[in-house]
Structure 1
């Protein structure tokens, strides 16, 4: 779970490519604290023809009091975190292209087998076919270590499981009067590398390898310049390489509203139904209420309160269950104490109810963060995180608590 929004000095590089919507669908009267421009503290980057290159680097340290997410006999450790990345973004008046690369290395003081290196490479772009029609595309490669405490992470592995992912998406959008239609196709390939026990025995993870394909269509109707209603439907297919019984097909239907109330509130809320049907008739289909919401409140120009939530079907591989119905809610507050100092707080809650297994997991997360910029190039970030998991039911797992304290020096160019 993402615990905090990216720091102010990284927000530009992490922005996704998207076309400018028609005026009837703009929701820009309010501005979030982390989106507010601060020219005197923004890195200028390097001009390369029609592109701007923005490199960045980060060095930090972290202390964790429960490294293995254990219910008892906690093991504490500290680690060094080194990160680097760069974004190459076009400055064209029409069309857009962004290339972004990121890498993170973690080195522990005592538990060297927990060391990990993550990386990602993403390409995204947009073709402006006409004034009211655009085509967006993207591709990405990533490699990351599965965090301890993840439900499907094998406890017997002496080191974190490495997950490699490949993603593709293609999206078309057209605006005609008060109507906007969007069609998006995406595919994600997940490969889980085998682990190893402390005795050197292989921990096979091939049964988790899978490909997820999804097609989503959406139609918006602008009732007024500040309110739009929409319907959205999606169909997906989840194919496993070896655990063929877990193959499934699913669908989701949503009805929602996208609106703003002056410069005070900006929101998108939808609810409907979701269902996942498995090829193996012995596995019970999973279905229920689907929902998604994002509400931003701007009580002042210096404070942003954001409420997010969703209810979706997620894969499960380890517990005798094929999937879970996952509900998530998060509340975040960002306050600009100074032009170069942003304070943030976040509370998150997640519930997972598993299919064909009497088990329900709940996670509760709180986090505090302070981001301070010295000038255009350098800044510091301090973060404190508390995470707690509980489990109930006849197949309940172990609960745990983890506390983390991290600090980092960030450089942008």
Structure 2
């Protein structure tokens, strides 16, 4: 049975009778949850600092398989885990165990100039007693960089992925997001031109999202076709280095969001034009700190008068602090406008912050701890959704081929105002064996 996504969503929430499945493979990372990735890669790394997770470990790093001008890096993670709340509900909580199998391979060119890289990865999870929670995800990606002289580089990138949404998304109610699977294809072309102390970057990309129907445990199917959309973006950035360690930048971006179908019969969807300008600084101070901090303004104009235009403060920040070679602290902040498909809301401000510490206790034993916070403020509604997460783990490198990873996490969701989703908390643990070459 298929029914309108919006009508069934409101009816299910009002009845408070919907049972949900567990978070997806990405739910443990709040900063990873947005559907839309950044247009430009981080530009703060100028080679003056190396974090704990980046540091080479010659006795334990994989050598890969030499294929002439290329090196192949195969890897498989397999393990077992447990969740304390398999259906993410405050009532009748049920725990369940699961197994994971995550194969991956990366092929990288070893040329002095230009670059080609191919990546393939899968993430498969099977629950012991709740097969509705099972997950099959994958990602295929290709990247090519052309070095034109000494000043200009042109990079092309393509990706195709099947992913699951997470319970910390604000696109739909969390109780439905954890059941939602989508496919994403992505094409990007960006150029970088640098002369002297200046650098110019221009990027264009296109993403298309196709959402599968949500299959409820009852057998009902919720059609998500009205969430399918294409996002086209153009971004320009100018940067000037005052010293080799510190630079200032300004970034201007435009995005066009075009939904494939109407929201409902004779009801326009949330097609929009968006603009954002941010300015800030990139810095990489030797043996101390590196990062990027940008603050600016964002605006989203909807093409239908049914939806109110949105504007406000936008923030992008990522800072790493190096108190010693053995410890790295990381701080992330983010505030952007995102589309919503909840109730009568058209957009929300997505506010996120994270603090992470990595510590090298031994050369082959790396510890980590993470604290994350996210709040989604829905435009034109009293509804606010807040997520808290704490996590800790360890990575033990046995040798070049084998390693062990342990990760423990706790996540809690609270809602105030118009409650269109369940509140829940969950403890999760996972032990993984890593086999690599």
Q: CA contact under 8 A between 2:406 and 2:431: conserved in structure 1?
A: yes
Q: Which residue of 2 aligns with 1:241?
A: 260
Q: Which residue of 2 aligns with 1:62?
A: 81
The aligned length equals: 398
Cα offset, 1:162, TM superposition: 1.6
Shift of 1:39: 0.9
1:33 deviates by 0.5
Alignment of 1:139-150 (within 5 A): 139-148=158-167, 150=169
* Partner deviation per Cα, 1:216-236 (whole Å, 9 max, x = no partner): 100001111111111101010
Q: Which of residues 194, 202, 212 is equivalent to 2:221?
A: 202
Deviation per residue, 1:32-82 (Å, 9 max, x gap): 001100111011111111000010111111100112221322121110101
Distance 1:18 1:252, change over 3 A: closer
Q: SS in structure 2 opposite 1:224?
A: coil
The change in CA–CA distance for 1:361 and 1:266 in structure 2 (over 3 A counts) is same
1:366 corresponds in structure 2 to 390
Distance 1:293 1:158 in 2: 27
In the alignment, is residue 318 of structure 1 matched against residue 337 of structure 2? no
Match of 1:180 in 2: 199
| Unmatched tracts of structure 1, length 5 or more | 6-16
Pick the aligned partner of 1:341 from 352, 365, 385: 365
Q: CA RMSD in A?
A: 2.1
Q: Which residue of structure 1 lines up, in the alignment, with residue 94 of structure 2? A: 75
Q: Distance in 2 between matches of 1:287 and 1:308?
A: 22
- Which whole-Å CA distance do the structure 2 matches of 1:412 and 1:262 have between them? 32
Which residues in structure 2 correspond to 1:5-404 (within 5 Å)? 27-148=46-167, 150-152=169-171, 160-242=179-261, 243=263, 244-395=268-419, 397-404=421-428
Matches of 1:256 and 1:155, distance apart in 2: 34
Distance 1:255 1:156 in 2: 37
TM-score (norm 1): 0.92
Change in CA separation of 1:252 and 1:18 when aligned onto 2, cut-off 3 Å: closer
| TM-score (norm. length: structure 2) | 0.87
Kept after mapping to 2: 8 A contact 1:102/1:121: yes
TM-aligned CA deviation for residue 156 of structure 1: 8.0
Q: How far apart are residue 153 of structure 1 and its match?
A: 5.1
- Residues 401 and 199 from structure 1, CA distance in 2 versus in 1: closer, same or farther, beyond 3 angstroms? closer
Task: Return the alpha-carbon distance in structure 1 between the equivalents of residues 423 and 219 of structure 2.
Answer: 28
